[in-house]
């Protein structure tokens, strides 16, 4: 059983801690992503970082961890995407898609030039939460603290940016700089989540808990709290289901989140129809 194994298996314990820590940043930043409706940009950032990961794997330097390349690639693509979104609003979808595919293409080329990188690449693409180390947990905790600090300090400006950008401009809020900062926080959160569910599934944990929380409240603070809570539940029960069914943990967590969200939508619709 999962609960008895959790007491004795250090890999499961580390994986659970990783899921809990990842849920904090994903709940906070994911709420902004959902409210601001920038999921497509977040998806582009998540896939563009493959270029940074591939470059670090190609260099084969012991001191240069692929996650460093992921962080650099994520922030660089976030700043570039933010600049494009602000300058070329009429064609932003095509430009974002171009950056998305270009980042992945660069990563694939570097990885193809690197012998023996297939296993490590699979970990980044699909996640390998069972191999999280104590160093990874410290990195997750540090990123959580950075995220919490920025969200706490910029809560009101971010609130104005997400709900009424035009009014924020009239009030003298530096909207452009705040938007770039928000995208950088999204990028850091994506790097954090990659260690849990991988690049391909990262949008699931970043957006589904916040979207689900939005079904219960329209206020940002409760939405963030609920999103963090849902992330914790998905990580815990997803890890348990993966252990019992012998499924990949990252994919199981993402699938559980999607099933719960669809179920919540169905129940909400039934309640709505019952009132008619």
Residue 170 in tokens: 């009239």
Buried b (16+ CB within 10 A) or exposed e, 234-243: bbbbbbbbbb
**pTM, 2 dp:** 0.88
The CATH number assigned to the domain holding 141 equals: 1.10.3470.10
Residue 69, classified by CB atoms within 10 Å of its CB into exposed (0-12), middle (13-18) or buried (19+), is buried
What pLDDT score does 184 carry? 92
pLDDT at residue 210, as a whole number: 95
Which domain covers residue 180, as residue numbers? Answer: 2-275
Residue with tokens 């700043």: 79
Strand positions, DSSP E, the chain: none
Question: What parts of the chain have a pLDDT lower than 50?
Answer: none
User: Looking at the 3D structure of the chain, how many domains does it have?
Assistant: 1
pLDDT of residue 92: 64
Per the CB < 8 A criterion, the answer to whether 72 and 107 are in contact is no
- In angstroms and rounded to an integer, the radius of gyration of the C-alpha atoms of the chain is 19
Among 76, 25, 8, 45, smallest CA distance to 235 is for 25
Q: Give pLDDT, residue 47.
A: 83
């Amino acid at each position: 059983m999962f609960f008895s194994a959790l007491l004795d298996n250090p890999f499961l314990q580390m994986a659970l801690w990783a899921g809990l820590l990842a849920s904090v940043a994903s709940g906070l930043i994911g709420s902004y992503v959902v409210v601001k409706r920038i999921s497509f940009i977040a998806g582009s950032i998540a896939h563009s970082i493959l270029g940074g990961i591939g470059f670090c794997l190609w260099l084969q330097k012991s001191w240069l961890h692929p996650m460093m390349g992921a962080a650099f690639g994520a922030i660089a693509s976030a700043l570039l995407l933010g600049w494009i979104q602000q300058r070329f609003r009429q064609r932003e979808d095509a430009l974002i898609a171009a950056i998305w595919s270009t980042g992945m293409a660069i990563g694939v080329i570097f990885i193809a030039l690197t012998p023996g990188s297939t296993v490590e690449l699979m970990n980044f693409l699909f996640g390998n939460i069972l191999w999280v180390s104590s160093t990874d947990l410290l990195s997750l905790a540090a990123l959580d603290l950075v995220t919490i600090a920025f969200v706490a300090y910029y809560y009101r400006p971010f609130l104005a940016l997400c709900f009424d950008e035009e009014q924020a401009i009239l009030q003298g809020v530096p909207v452009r700089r705040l938007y770039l900062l928000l995208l950088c926080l999204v990028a850091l959160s994506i790097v954090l989540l990659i260690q849990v569910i991988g690049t391909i599934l990262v949008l699931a944990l970043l957006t589904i808990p916040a979207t689900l929380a939005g079904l219960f409240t329209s206020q940002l603070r409760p939405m963030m709290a609920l999103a963090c809570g849902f992330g914790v539940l998905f990580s815990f029960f997803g890890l348990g289901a993966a252990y019992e069914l012998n499924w990949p943990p990252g994919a199981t967590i993402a699938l559980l989140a999607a099933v719960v969200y669809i179920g919540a939508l169905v129940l909400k619709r039934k309640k709505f129809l019952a009132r008619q």
